[in-house]
């Protein structure tokens, strides 16, 4: 009998598209939550919805199945249980409602546009160009990688694709050219330093633009909700608020990491020749690369509302409309083709999982779950007798450093941010609400510095073997504190100058 059970377990483990043990843990958590008494202040349907939501987040963290599959399952369960409606027809309409959200489509289309960076080779060329100019010293190479990240960030909402798929291969090839190889035990020559710069440039730039990482539109949605749409972060507003503190972070980061994890090789005159050789092999700038550059320029002009500034508000375009214009230009010029659009799995995967998480967050708000949790958190802080300044600081720090328990930025933001924002808005005086909200926005990407599993880019860079676990966590913690301090000083003063408080 035991052998049969073992054989059955082995069969299912090799055949089914999910991990059995994490799936069993997740299912058990759902069952336990549903069997518990409904807490005071919640209806049965609201408690069931919360159980489905938390189980989905747990399944994402434990990686039971791909996040898109888990999201689709969550939508199916919401529809079947009818926790948002009195009929299955109404419930499925609720479950699918967020698939029409323009912010989600902004990210989807931006991912499709960013495919052109890799297809045309423009991303690689940009990185090599900066190395050819700044590569006389290792720290100069670090700044070259940083500038490359900054330029690519507005157009690549997958920070994993940008930092792990475009910049990291350039970084590895440079380190290898200088015989910095983990297999030889020479990773500290320059590879450790460049890997850390690669990672931290990726996290900083992810917070500078709405379109720099996939969860950012979710943050926009939450901020708008807790302020009843009175404070809405458009693409331009987000970039304007984050540009100065972000640039300060980018300016200091390569220098600070050179102190925290100094490279053994300081001077690298060969890097310039290496980059120039690679550029010569790539040949002259192709027509498709020129179209990409022109499209990026067009997107920036339209996202920044330049036509509206010149010709009046009638020429204001929604950021999602602008993204579709950019995609259309790339398709009709042949820079990318329809097969590229159809085969960009990450874009369509994002549409599903993002839509499900946004939908559940909206329904949790409608059913009163967010208000219920916010009241508990607010009452706990109030009973501690804290002033609002310390309460706001505690909320930001709790939110950021709880990321040690998450392997997904999206899961973390989905699970905690809306409630934390709601508590902050209730506790902070109205004239200081906006800087609190912007600190939370900044923290939603700064937290990606902490661990080697914090975001999709982390395991790619960590997996190359250049950075030890201890070094990664030590540098990550210090950089997190430094960046929070920069946003809490330079950022707050900048937002004051802009008139946001």
Note the pLDDT of residue 367: 85
Note the pLDDT of residue 9: 66
pLDDT reading at 208 higher than 90 = yes
- Say which range, 29-38, 371-380, 415-424, has the weakest mean pLDDT: 371-380
Note the pLDDT of residue 476: 94
pLDDT digits (tens, 9 = 90+) for 219-236: 998 999 999 888 989 888
pLDDT reading at 438 higher than 90 = yes
Own/partner pairs, 274-282, CB within 8 angstroms, 24+ separation? 274/131, 274/135, 274/174, 274/177, 275/128, 275/129, 275/131, 275/132, 275/135, 275/174, 276/132, 278/128, 278/173, 279/125, 279/128, 279/129, 279/132, 282/121, 282/124, 282/125, 282/128
Task: Please tell me the distance from the alpha carbon of residue 119 to that of residue 403, in angstroms, as a whole number.
Answer: 34
CA-CA distances (angstroms) from residue 215 to 101, 140, 206?
A: 14, 31, 10
Of 112, 113, 146, whose CA–CA distance to 297 is shortest? 113
Choose between 167 and 92: higher pLDDT.
92
Note the pLDDT of residue 331: 93
Choose between 172 and 15: higher pLDDT.
172
pLDDT digits (tens, 9 = 90+) for 235-265: 889 999 999 999 999 999 999 999 999 998 8
The 8-class DSSP code of residue 468 comes to: -
In the predicted model, what is the mean pLDDT of residues 341-369? 82
Choose between 117 and 409: higher pLDDT.
409
pLDDT reading at 16 higher than 70 = no
Secondary structure class of 199 (helix, strand, coil): helix
Q: Percent of the chain, pLDDT > 70?
A: 97
pTM of the entire structure? 0.73
pLDDT digits (tens, 9 = 90+) for 462-485: 877 889 888 998 999 999 999 999
Note the pLDDT of residue 330: 93
How does residue 97 score in pLDDT terms, banded at 50, 70 and 90?
A: confident
pLDDT digits (tens, 9 = 90+) for 312-328: 888 878 878 888 998 99
The number of helix segments (H) and strand segments (E) in the chain equals 27, 0
In the predicted model, what is the mean pLDDT of residues 145-160? 84
């Amino acid at each position: 009998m035991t052998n049969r059970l073992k054989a059955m377990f082995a069969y299912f483990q090799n055949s089914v598209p999910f991990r059995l043990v994490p799936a069993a843990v997740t299912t058990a958590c759902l069952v336990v939550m549903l069997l518990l008494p409904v807490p005071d202040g919640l209806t049965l349907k609201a408690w069931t919805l919360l159980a489905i939501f938390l189980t989905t987040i747990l399944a994402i963290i434990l990686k039971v199945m791909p996040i898109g599959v888990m999201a689709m399952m969550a939508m199916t369960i919401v529809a079947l249980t009818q926790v948002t409606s009195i009929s299955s027809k109404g419930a499925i309409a609720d479950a699918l409602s967020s698939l029409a959200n323009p912010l989600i489509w902004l990210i989807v289309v931006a991912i499709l546009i960013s495919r052109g960076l890799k297809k045309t080779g423009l991303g690689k060329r940009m990185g090599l160009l900066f190395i050819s100019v700044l590569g006389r010293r290792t720290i100069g190479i670090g700044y070259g990688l940083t500038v490359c990240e900054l330029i690519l960030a507005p157009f690549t909402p997958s920070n994993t694709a940008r930092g792990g798929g475009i910049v990291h291969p350039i970084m590895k090839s440079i380190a290898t050219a200088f015989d910095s190889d983990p297999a030889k035990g020479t990773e500290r020559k320059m590879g450790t330093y460049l890997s850390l710069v690669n990672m931290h440039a990726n996290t900083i730039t992810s917070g500078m633009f709405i379109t720099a990482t996939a969860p950012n539109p979710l943050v926009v949605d939450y901020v708008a909700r807790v302020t009843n749409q009175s404070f809405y972060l458009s693409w331009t507003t987000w970039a304007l608020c984050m540009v100065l503190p972000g640039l300060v972070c980018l300016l200091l980061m390569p220098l600070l990491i050179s102190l925290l994890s100094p490279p053994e090789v300081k001077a690298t005159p060969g890097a310039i020749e290496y980059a120039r050789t690679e550029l010569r092999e790539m040949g002259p700038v192709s027509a498709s690369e020129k179209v990409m550059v022109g499209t990026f320029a067009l997107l920036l002009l339209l996202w920044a509302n330049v036509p509206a500034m010149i010709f009046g508000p009638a020429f204001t375009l929604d950021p999602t409309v602008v993204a579709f214009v950019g995609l259309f230009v790339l398709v009709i010029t042949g820079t990318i083709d329809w097969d590229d659009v159809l085969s960009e799995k990450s874009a369509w995967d994002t549409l599903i999982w993002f839509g499900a998480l946004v939908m559940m967050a909206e329904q949790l708000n409608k059913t009163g779950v967010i208000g219920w949790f916010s009241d508990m958190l607010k009452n706990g802080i109030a009973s501690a007798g804290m002033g609002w300044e310390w309460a706001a600081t505690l909320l930001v720090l709790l939110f950021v450093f709880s990321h040690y328990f998450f392997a997904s930025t999206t899961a973390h933001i989905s699970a905690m941010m809306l409630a934390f924002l709601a508590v902050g808005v209730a506790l902070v005086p109205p004239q200081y609400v906006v800087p609190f909200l912007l600190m939370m926005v900044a923290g939603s990407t700064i937290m990606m510095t902490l661990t080697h599993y914090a975001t999709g880019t982390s395991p790619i860079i960590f997996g190359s073997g250049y950075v030890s676990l201890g070094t990664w966590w030590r540098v990550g913690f210090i950089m997190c504190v430094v960046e929070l301090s920069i946003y809490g000083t330079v950022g707050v003063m900048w937002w004051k100058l802009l008139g946001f408080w």
